[in-house]
C-alpha cells in the first residue's frame, strides 16, 4: 500500500514584526491590551511593496525541500493554497514552479478555501500520491492578507498578517496521512468574505475583508471540534492517542475553545498566533514547521491538523509524523 508521508517542512514570515503598539502608532484606534486580551496576538508580519504570495511561498518551499533532503526537480506536484494570489492567472503554483527551477512538467495548481486552504491542499495531494500517479508533492499555504485589509476597520485589520508555510509530502511504505475530512457550507458566506471583484479594469463591490466576528467564533469552534472527531473515528483512534493538535491560528480564544471541545489539554496544542496573527492558509504549516524545528514535534507522534475559513469551508488531517 502506498502512503503519503511528510518528509520536510518550511516556513517564512516577511519583514520585521509589527507589534500592536506599532499599529497604534500608525493611527489605528486600538491598544496592545485590547488586541492581546481578545485575540492573543502580539505581532504580525507584512510583505513589502512588490512582495507577493509567490515570493513568500518560494522561501518556505526551499526550506521544506532542504529539510526533506530532496532536489526541487524531484517534486512532481505543486499545490498552493492561497486567497491572495499574485495574478488572476497563471496560478501562484505555476509561478512557484518556475521560481524553483522545476522543469519536469509536473502538475501545479492553486486551491482556494481561505483559512482551511492548507487542509484542502494536503488532502488533495495525499490522494494524488496514494493513487500512484505522483511521488512527491510540495504543498504550500501562502498569503498576503495585508493587501485586502481595511485599515479603518479595527475589528479586522489587527487580526491578520502575511506569511507562508510548506511541506514536502512523499510516497512511502510507512503510514503518514491516516485520514482526512473536508466540508463546506456556502450558506454562511456573508459572515466572512471579500465581497468585491474586478471587471473591465475596475473594482466592483467591496475589495476589503469583512467579518462578523461572533458568528465566525461560534461556527469555527463547533465545526473544528466535529471534524477532529471525524478523522479520529475514520482511523479508529481516540483523542488520548493524539500528541499534538495544530489548529488554524485565528485567535487564541478559538484555539482554546476548540481544544476544550476536542478534549485535549492546552499543553498538547500548538499555538503560534501570538507571533504572526491570522495568516489564513499559511497558519497551519507555519505552526507545524515552528513546532518541528523547536523540537516539540518529533517522529513517531500523532498530529491533528485542522482549519476553518470563509466559504464556509473546514477540514482536518490526522497525521502519523
Give Cβ neighbours of residue 240 (< 8 Å, ≥ 6 apart).
none
Residue 294: partners with Cβ closer than 8 Å, 6 or more residues away: none
The residues annotated with a catalytic role in the active site are 115, 248, 278
Residues near 34 by Cβ (< 8 Å), separated by ≥ 6?
Answer: none
CB of 170 closer than 8 Å to CB of 137: yes
What are the strands, taking DSSP E only, across 112-260? 136-144, 162-172, 177-184, 192-193, 196-199, 202-205, 210-211, 244-247
> Can you tell me the distance from the alpha carbon of 39 to that of 83, in angstroms, rounded to the nearest whole number?
22
Nearest to 268 by CA among 297, 226, 228: 297
Q: Report the alpha-carbon distance of residue 174 to residue 171 in Å, rounded.
A: 9
Distance CA 177, CA 123 (A): 9
Amino acid at each position: 500500500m502506498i502512503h503519503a508521508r511528510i518528509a520536510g517542512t518550511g516556513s517564512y514570515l516577511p519583514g520585521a514584526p509589527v507589534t500592536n503598539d506599532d499599529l497604534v502608532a500608525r493611527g489605528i484606534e486600538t491598544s496592545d491590551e485590547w488586541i492581546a486580551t481578545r485575540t492573543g496576538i502580539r505581532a504580525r508580519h507584512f510583505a513589502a511593496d512588490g512582495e507577493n504570495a509567490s515570493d513568500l511561498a518560494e522561501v518556505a518551499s526551499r526550506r521544506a525541500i532542504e529539510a526533506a533532503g530532496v532536489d526541487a526537480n524531484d517534486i512532481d506536484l505543486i499545490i498552493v493554497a492561497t486567497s491572495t494570489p499574485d495574478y488572476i492567472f497563471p496560478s501562484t503554483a505555476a509561478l512557484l514552479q518556475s521560481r524553483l527551477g522545476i522543469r519536469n512538467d509536473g502538475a501545479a495548481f492553486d486551491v482556494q478555501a481561505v483559512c482551511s486552504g492548507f487542509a484542502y491542499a494536503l488532502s488533495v495531494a495525499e490522494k494524488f500520491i496514494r493513487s500512484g500517479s505522483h511521488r512527491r508533492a510540495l504543498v504550500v499555504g501562502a498569503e498576503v492578507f495585508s493587501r485586502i485589509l481595511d485599515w479603518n476597520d479595527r475589528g479586522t485589520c489587527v487580526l491578520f498578517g502575511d506569511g507562508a508555510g510548506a511541506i514536502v509530502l512523499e510516497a512511502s511504505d510507512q503510514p503518514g496521512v491516516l485520514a482526512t475530512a473536508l466540508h463546506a457550507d456556502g450558506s454562511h458566506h456573508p459572515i466572512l468574505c471579500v465581497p468585491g471583484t474586478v471587471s473591465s479594469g475596475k473594482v466592483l463591490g467591496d475589495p476589503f475583508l469583512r467579518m462578523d466576528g461572533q458568528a465566525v467564533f461560534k461556527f469555527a469552534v463547533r465545526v473544528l471540534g466535529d471534524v477532529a472527531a471525524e478523522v479520529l473515528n475514520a482511523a479508529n483512534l481516540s483523542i488520548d492517542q493524539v500528541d499534538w493538535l495544530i489548529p488554524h491560528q485565528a485567535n487564541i480564544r478559538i484555539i482554546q475553545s476548540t481544544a476544550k471541545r476536542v478534549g485535549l489539554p492546552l499543553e498538547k496544542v500548538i499555538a503560534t498566533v501570538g507571533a504572526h496573527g491570522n495568516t489564513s492558509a499559511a497558519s497551519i504549516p507555519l505552526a507545524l514547521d515552528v513546532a518541528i524545528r523547536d523540537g516539540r514535534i518529533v517522529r513517531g507522534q500523532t498530529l491533528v491538523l485542522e482549519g476553518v475559513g470563509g466559504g464556509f469551508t473546514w477540514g482536518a488531517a490526522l497525521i502519523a509524523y
